[in-house]
C-alpha cells in the first residue's frame, strides 16, 4: 500500500516559510507523523493535526537552528583574504595620496641612506679579504715605546723564517718609490712602484693576467705592470717582452701583466720590480741588516699555528728573543698584525697611505641604523595618528569574525608592502646618488643587485623596516573594541599622544645629535687647518729633485737665485709632511739613561729658517758665514726638553746623533710636521749636503708665474723628466682627508635625517590641523587672531623640539668628546654649537609646521563650521 | 560552572532521547511523549525543544543516512551528551535528596 499523502497546500506553506536548513528533516518527520495519524484516527483527523503542526513549525513559532558547525572562520591566509588585504591596502594608499607619498618618501630616503652607508661599510670591511690565504697572512710591525711603525729590517724576514718553523713563507715589500718610466715617446712619473720578493704572487693573491706566476719576479731585469698601466704605455699591443726604461738609466723587460690592484687592497701599486734588482745597490739588502727599519715584511704562517691573540703574543715574544739574540741593543718590540686588520685597525707610522678607521665604520653603522629608525618612526607616527580612518574597518572586520592576530598580520603586511615599495624607490635613489657618494668617500662603490648577499641584506632591511614600522600601528589598531569604534564616538588621537610625542622627540634627538656632530667635525677641521703650525705653510711651492737635478745642484741653486720669483728658496731632504726616517740613536751631555724615543731628522739648508718662517728660540740657524756647520745641529723645542736642556743652556752643548757628533747651534720653536693627531715630536735638523726637495716661498699672487719659472728651470736642467710640483698646504690638508670625508658624510646624513624628520612632522601637523579644524573655527569666531592660532598649533611641537634638544645635548657632547680625544690638538666644544644646532632644528621644524598651521589659521571659519 | 536551567518539558524530551537510545528523532520523541504521558504536543514544540537542548549542549545531533522511507528525506537523530546525562543525574539526585528530607506526614492529606 502506498503511503497517504498530506495535503499539498500545507506542505507548500511549509516549504515556503520554514527555515531552509531544517526543512528536510521537519518535512520528513511530519510526513511520518501524518501517516501515523492517518492510520490511527483517519484522514480528517490527520489533515487537521498535520495543518496544526505545520503552523507550529512556521515562523514566528519555530526556533531556528544556528549554523554553528558548518561555518568556519575563513583562514587568514586564504587567497581570497590575501587579495582582499592587497585591495584594501592599495585603496588606502590611493585614498590618502599625500600621506602615502610622505610615508614612502621618508622610508625610501631613509633606506637609501642606509644602503649607501652599508655599501661603504661593506667595502671597508672587505679590505684584503680577497687573498686566498688572508687568514694566515701577518705583517711584522714594531714599536719603540710610543713610536709604532709598520716597517721592519730587511734581514729579519729570512732570518726569522729560518729559525721559526711556524713561518711558512715571508715576503718583503719596499716602500713605494717614485720613478720615471719611458716607452718610446711616452714618459710618465709613476708614484706607485714597489719592489717585492719573488714569491710575492704566491703569498698574495693578486691575479696575473699574462705571464707565469712561478717565474714572474725571478729576473732582476724584468718587471710586472698592471693592466691599466700596460694600456697607458702600450695601448692595445701585447706588452710581454717589451722594453721599458726606468729613471732614464735602466732597461727592463715586461715579464707579466697583473690585474689592476683591487680597490680594497691596502697594497696599491702599478709596477712591481723584483727585490733582487734593488739588492744590487741597496745596503740594507746586501748586508741583510737587522738594524734599519725600511721594509714591510709579511709572513704566511702555517695552517696549524694558533693565531688567536694569545698565540700571536707568544710568537711576538719569540721574535723579540731572536732579535735580542741577534745582538741588537735597541729596545724594540715586534708584533704580528693580521693582514685583514691592517686597513681598519692600524695606527702606525711609516705606513702605506690610505688606511681606514674602525671607529668611523662603527659610527656610520650606528648612523645608518639611526636614520632607518627615524624613517620608521615617521611611518609609525603617521599610521597611528591617522588610525581613526582605519578604525571603522577594524571594527567591521572584527564583527565579521576577524581575530586580533589576523588583523595584526594584515597591518604588518600593509607596512611590508610600503617598505618593499620604498625599497624599490630607494634602489633607484642609490643609483642616482652613488656618483656623489663616491666623490664624498673617494671610494669605488658599486651596487650589484645580482649579488646574492647584497640582495639578501636589502630584502632584510625592507623586512626589518616593515616589521618595525608596522609593529606599533598593528598592535594599536588591532586592539580596537568593535562596539566603541562602530558607535563612532571614539577619540583615538588622545590615547596614544604620549607615545607619539616620544617618537617625535626620538627623531629630533637623532637629528640634533647628527647636527652637533657635523658642527664639531667641521669646527675641528677648521681648527686644524687654521692652527698655527709653527711655520707659515701658505705659498710654499715644492719641486722634488729627480734625474739630473741631483748632479746639477749648483746650477740649480744659481738658476733659482737669479730669478726674483724663485730666489726665496730652500733645499731640504724631505717634505715635512713625509718625514719617515728617525732613530733612537741620540746621546747628549749629562744623559742618564739610553734614549728610547724615536727622533726624526730633517736635513735643511741655510735658508730654511727664513723660507719656512720658523722662529728661533736660541742660537742661530745654519749659515754660510760659519764654517763647520756640517757638524752642527739645530734642534726643536721638544728635543731640547727631552734632553733636559733649556733655551738658556742648550746652545753649545754637544750631542751625538746617528753616530755622528756635533754641537747644538740653535733651537727652533716647535713646528708641526706631522698630522695634528700626533703631538709635536722631537726633531733634529742637520745641514743638507745632498738635496731632496726644493721649496720656494712664492710671493702672494705670483703663484702662476713662479710655477712657470720653476718649470722652465726644471726643463732646462732636467729635460728627461716631466716637471711636477706641489703646494705644501695642499699636502697638509690631505693629511686630514679621512676627517674631511667624515665631515662631509656626516653633513649629508644629518641633512637627510632632518629632512626625514620634517616629512613626518609635516604629516603630523597636517593631521593635527585637520583634527582641530572645528576648534580653530570656533576660536576664530570668538576673536582669535591668525598669529594666535599659529602659535597655538606650533607650541606643542616646539615643546617636543626643546625636550629633544635637552636630551641630545649631553649625548652629542659625550660622543664628540670621545671623537676629539683622538687628536693631540683639539678644538673646544663650545656652548654655541649646541645652541646653533638646536636653533636650526627648531627653525626647520617650525617652518615645516607653519605650512599647515598658517593654512589652518587662515581658513574661513564659516567653511570649517558649516558641517554641523 | 553555572548549571544550565533545564525546563520541565526540556527534561521530559531529554529523558525520552535517553530512553530511545540512538533512535531519537522528531517523530519518535513526540510519539513516545504521547504514549507515556498522554500529552498531545505540537511537533513545533518538540522541534524547538530539540534545537534548544542542542544549543545548551545537552544533546548532539547528526543527519542520518537517506532511506527510501519518507521520500528519501533524511532524519536528524539525537543523542544525549555527557553534559546532558550529568544534568539528568543531577536532577535525579536532587529530587531523591529532597524526597528524603521530606517528613512522613507532609504528603498526608490533613484530616484523614
List CB contacts (< 8 A) between B42 and chain A.
Answer: 52-53, 56
Backbone phi, psi, residue A272, to 5°:
-125, 120
Averaged pLDDT, A441-463: 83
Q: Is A53 on the interface with B (CB under 8 A)?
A: yes
User: What is the number of alpha carbons within 13 Å of residue B72 lying toward its C-beta?
Assistant: 0
CB contact under 8 A, A29 and B45: no
pLDDT of residue A283: 86
Averaged pLDDT, A766-787: 85
CB contact under 8 A, A56 and B42: yes
A701-751 pLDDT per residue, tens: 788 888 888 888 888 888 888 888 888 888 888 878 777 887 888 888 888
Buried b (16+ CB within 10 A) or exposed e, A265-292: bbbbbbbbbbbbbbbeebebbeeebbbb
A251-306 pLDDT per residue, tens: 999 999 999 998 889 999 999 999 999 999 888 888 888 888 889 999 999 988 88
Q: Considering chain A, what percentage of its residues have pLDDT values greater than 90?
A: 19
A374-411 pLDDT per residue, tens: 888 888 888 877 777 788 888 888 888 888 888 888 88
Nearest to A491 by CA among A403, A421, A391: A391
pLDDT of A1 higher than 50: no
The shortest C-alpha distance from B40 to chain A (Å) reads 10
Stretch (H or E) spanning B20? helix B8-20
Instruction: State chain A's mean pLDDT as an integer.
Output: 86
Averaged pLDDT, A562-575: 85
CB contact under 8 A, B75 and A27: no
Averaged pLDDT, A414-431: 91
pTM of the model: 0.72
* Cβ-contact A544, A178 below 8 angstroms: yes
CB contact under 8 A, A25 and B74: yes
Report CA dihedral (B33, B39, B45, B51) to the nearest 10 degrees. -20
List CB contacts (< 8 A) between B73 and chain A.
Answer: 24-25, 27-28, 31
pLDDT of residue A2: 61
Give the C-alpha separation, A50 to A6, whole Å.
7
pLDDT of residue A494: 56
The shortest C-alpha distance from A455 to chain B (Å) reads 56
Buried b (16+ CB within 10 A) or exposed e, A302-332: eeebebeeeebeebbeebbebbeeeeeebeb
Q: Is A50 on the interface with B (CB under 8 A)?
A: no
A651-666 pLDDT per residue, tens: 888 888 877 888 899 8
* Cβ-contact A559, A694 below 8 angstroms: no
Q: Is B57 on the interface with A (CB under 8 A)?
A: no
pLDDT of residue B12: 93
The shortest C-alpha distance from A507 to chain B (Å) reads 53
pLDDT band at A867 (very low <50, low <70, confident <90, very high): low
CB contact under 8 A, B47 and A26: yes
Q: Is B68 on the interface with A (CB under 8 A)?
A: no
A32, A53, A63 member nearest B70 (Cβ)? A32
Give the C-alpha separation, A521 to A747, whole Å.
9
Q: Is A28 on the interface with B (CB under 8 A)?
A: yes
A33, A57, A58 member nearest B27 (Cβ)? A33
A454-506 pLDDT per residue, tens: 888 889 989 998 998 888 888 888 888 888 878 765 555 555 678 888 888 99
Expressed in percent and rounded to 5, the helix, strand and coil fractions of chain B are 60, 10, 30
Q: Is B70 on the interface with A (CB under 8 A)?
A: yes
Mutate to test the interface with B, among A8, A14, A32 (most CBs of B within 10 A): A32
Residues 2-41 of B with CB under 8 A from A: 25-27, 30-31
pLDDT band at A69 (very low <50, low <70, confident <90, very high): low
Q: Is A17 on the interface with B (CB under 8 A)?
A: no
Q: Considering chain A, what percentage of its residues have pLDDT values greater than 70?
A: 97
Cβ-proximal residues to A419 (8 Å cutoff; 6+ apart), any chain: A107, A111, A462, A463, A465, A466, A469
Amino acid at each position: 500500500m502506498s503511503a497517504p499523502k498530506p495535503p499539498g497546500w500545507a506542505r507548500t506553506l511549509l516549504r515556503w516559510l520554514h527555515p531552509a536548513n531544517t526543512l528536510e528533516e521537519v518535512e520528513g518527520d511530519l510526513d511520518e507523523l501524518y501517516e501515523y495519524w492517518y492510520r490511527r484516527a483517519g484522514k480528517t483527523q490527520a489533515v487537521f493535526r498535520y495543518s496544526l503542526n505545520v503552523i507550529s513549525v512556521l515562523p514566528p513559532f519555530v526556533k531556528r537552528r544556528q549554523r554553528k558547525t558548518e561555518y568556519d572562520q575563513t583562514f587568514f591566509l586564504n587567497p581570497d583574504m590575501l587579495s582582499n588585504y592587497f585591495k584594501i591596502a592599495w585603496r588606502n594608499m590611493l585614498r590618502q595620496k599625500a600621506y602615502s607619498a610622505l610615508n614612502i618618501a621618508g622610508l625610501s630616503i631613509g633606506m637609501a641612506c642606509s644602503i649607501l652607508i652599508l655599501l661603504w661599510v661593506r667595502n671597508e670591511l672587505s679590505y684584503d679579504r680577497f687573498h686566498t690565504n688572508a687568514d694566515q697572512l701577518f705583517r711584522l710591525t714594531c714599536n719603540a715605546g710610543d713610536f709604532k711603525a709598520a716597517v721592519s729590517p730587511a734581514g729579519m724576514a729570512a732570518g726569522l723564517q729560518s729559525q721559526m718553523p711556524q713561518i711558512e713563507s715571508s715576503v718583503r715589500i719596499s716602500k713605494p718609490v717614485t720613478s720615471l718610466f719611458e716607452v718610446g715617446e711616452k714618459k710618465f712619473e709613476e708614484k706607485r712602484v714597489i719592489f717585492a720578493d719573488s714569491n710575492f704572487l704566491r703569498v698574495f693573491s693578486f691575479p696575473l693576467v699574462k705571464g707565469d706566476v712561478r717565474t714572474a719576479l725571478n729576473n732582476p731585469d724584468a718587471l710586472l705592470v698592471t693592466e691599466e698601466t700596460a694600456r697607458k704605455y702600450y695601448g692595445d699591443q701585447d706588452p710581454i717582452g717589451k722594453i721599458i726604461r726606468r729613471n732614464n738609466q735602466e732597461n727592463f723587460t715586461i715579464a707579466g701583466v697583473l690585474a689592476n690592484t683591487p680597490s680594497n687592497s691596502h697594497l696599491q701599486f702599478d709596477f712591481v720590480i723584483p727585490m733582487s734588482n734593488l739588492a744590487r745597490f741597496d745596503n740594507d739588502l746586501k748586508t741583510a741588516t737587522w738594524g734599519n727599519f725600511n721594509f714591510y715584511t709579511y709572513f704566511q704562517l702555517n695552517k696549524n699555528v694558533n693565531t688567536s691573540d694569545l698565540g700571536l703574543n707568544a710568537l711576538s715574544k719569540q721574535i723579540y728573543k731572536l732579535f735580542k739574540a741577534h745582538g741588537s741593543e735597541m729596545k724594540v718590540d715586534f708584533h704580528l698584525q693580521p693582514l685583514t686588520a691592517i686597513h681598519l685597525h692600524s695606527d702606525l707610522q711609516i705606513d702605506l697611505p690610505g688606511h681606514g678607521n674602525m671607529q668611523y665604520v662603527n659610527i656610520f653603522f650606528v648612523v645608518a641604523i639611526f636614520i632607518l629608525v627615524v624613517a620608521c618612526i615617521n611611518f609609525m607616527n603617521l599610521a597611528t595618528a591617522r588610525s581613526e580612518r582605519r578604525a571603522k574597518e577594524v571594527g567591521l572586520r572584527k564583527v565579521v569574525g576577524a581575530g586580533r592576530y589576523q588583523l595584526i598580520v594584515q597591518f604588518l603586511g600593509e607596512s611590508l608592502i610600503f617598505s618593499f615599495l620604498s625599497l624599490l624607490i630607494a634602489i633607484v635613489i642609490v643609483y642616482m646618488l652613488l656618483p656623489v657618494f663616491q666623490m664624498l668617500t673617494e671610494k669605488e662603490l658599486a651596487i650589484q643587485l645580482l649579488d646574492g648577499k647584497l640582495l639578501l641584506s636589502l630584502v632584510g632591511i625592507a623586512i626589518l623596516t616593515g616589521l618595525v614600522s608596522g609593529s606599533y600601528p598593528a598592535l594599536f589598531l588591532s586592539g580596537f573594541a568593535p562596539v566603541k569604534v562602530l558607535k563612532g564616538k571614539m577619540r583615538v588621537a588622545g590615547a596614544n599622544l604620549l607615545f607619539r610625542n616620544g617618537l617625535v622627540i626620538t627623531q629630533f634627538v637623532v637629528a640634533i645629535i647628527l647636527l652637533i656632530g657635523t658642527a664639531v667635525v667641521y669646527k675641528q677641521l677648521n681648527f686644524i687647518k687654521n692652527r698655527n703650525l709653527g711655520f707659515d705653510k701658505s705659498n710654499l711651492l715644492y719641486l722634488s729633485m729627480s734625474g739630473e737635478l741631483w748632479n746639477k745642484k749648483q746650477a740649480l741653486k744659481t738658476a733659482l737665485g737669479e730669478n726674483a720669483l724663485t730666489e726665496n728658496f730652500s733645499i731640504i731632504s724631505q717634505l715635512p709632511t713625509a718625514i719617515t726616517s728617525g732613530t733612537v740613536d741620540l746621546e747628549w751631555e749629562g744623559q742618564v739613561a739610553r734614549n728610547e724615543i724615536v727622533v726624526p731628522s730633517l736635513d735643511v739648508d741655510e735658508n730654511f729658517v727664513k723660507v719656512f718662517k720658523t722662529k728661533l728660540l736660541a742660537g742661530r740657524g745654519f749659515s754660510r758665514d760659519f764654517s763647520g756647520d756640517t757638524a752642527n745641529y739645530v734642534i726643536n723645542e721638544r728635543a731640547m726638553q727631552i734632553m733636559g736642556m733649556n733655551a738658556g743652556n742648550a746652545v753649545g752643548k754637544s750631542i751625538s746623533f746617528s753616530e755622528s757628533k756635533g754641537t747644538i747651534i740653535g733651537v727652533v720653536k716647535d713646528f708641526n710636521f706631522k698630522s695634528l693627531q700626533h703631538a709635536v715630536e722631537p726633531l733634529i735638523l742637520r745641514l743638507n749636503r745632498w738635496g731632496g726637495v726644493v721649496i720656494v716661498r712664492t710671493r702672494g699672487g705670483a703663484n702662476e708665474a713662479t710655477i712657470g719659472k720653476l718649470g722652465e728651470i726644471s726643463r732646462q736642467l732636467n729635460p728627461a723628466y716631466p716637471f711636477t710640483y706641489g703646494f705644501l698646504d695642499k699636502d697638509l690638508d690631505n693629511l686630514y682627508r679621512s676627517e674631511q670625508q667624515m665631515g662631509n658624510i656626516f653633513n649629508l646624513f644629518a641633512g637627510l635625517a632632518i629632512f626625514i624628520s620634517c616629512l613626518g612632522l609635516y604629516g603630523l601637523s597636517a593631521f593635527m590641523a585637520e583634527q582641530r579644524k572645528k576648534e580653530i573655527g570656533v576660536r576664530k569666531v570668538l576673536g582669535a587672531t591668525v598669529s594666535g592660532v599659529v602659535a597655538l598649533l606650533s607650541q606643542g611641537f616646539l615643546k617636543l623640539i626643546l625636550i629633544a634638544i635637552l636630551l641630545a645635548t649631553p649625548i652629542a657632547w659625550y660622543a664628540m668628546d670621545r671623537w676629539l680625544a683622538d687628536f693631540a690638538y683639539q678644538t673646544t666644544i663650545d656652548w654655541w654649537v649646541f645652541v646653533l644646532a638646536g636653533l636650526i632644528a627648531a627653525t626647520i621644524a617650525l617652518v615645516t609646521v607653519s605650512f599647515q598651521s598658517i593654512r589652518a589659521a587662515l581658513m574661513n571659519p564659516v567653511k570649517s563650521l558649516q558641517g554641523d | 560552572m553555572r548549571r544550565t536551567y533545564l525546563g520541565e518539558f526540556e527534561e521530559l524530551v531529554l529523558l525520552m532521547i535517553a530512553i530511545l537510545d540512538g533512535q531519537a528523532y522528531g517523530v519518535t520523541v513526540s510519539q513516545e511523549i504521547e504514549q507515556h504521558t498522554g500529552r498531545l504536543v505540537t511537533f513545533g514544540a518538540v522541534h524547538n525543544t530539540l534545537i534548544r537542548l542542542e544549543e545548551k549542549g545537552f544533546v548532539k545531533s547528526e543527519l542520518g543516512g537517506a532511506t527510501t522511507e519518507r521520500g528519501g528525506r533524511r532524519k536528524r537523530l539525537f543523542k544525549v551528551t555527557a553534559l546532558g546525562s550529568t544534568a539528568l543525574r543531577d536532577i535525579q539526585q536532587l529530587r531523591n535528596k529532597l524526597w528524603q528530607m521530606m517528613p512522613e506526614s507532609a504528603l498526608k492529606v490533613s484530616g484523614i
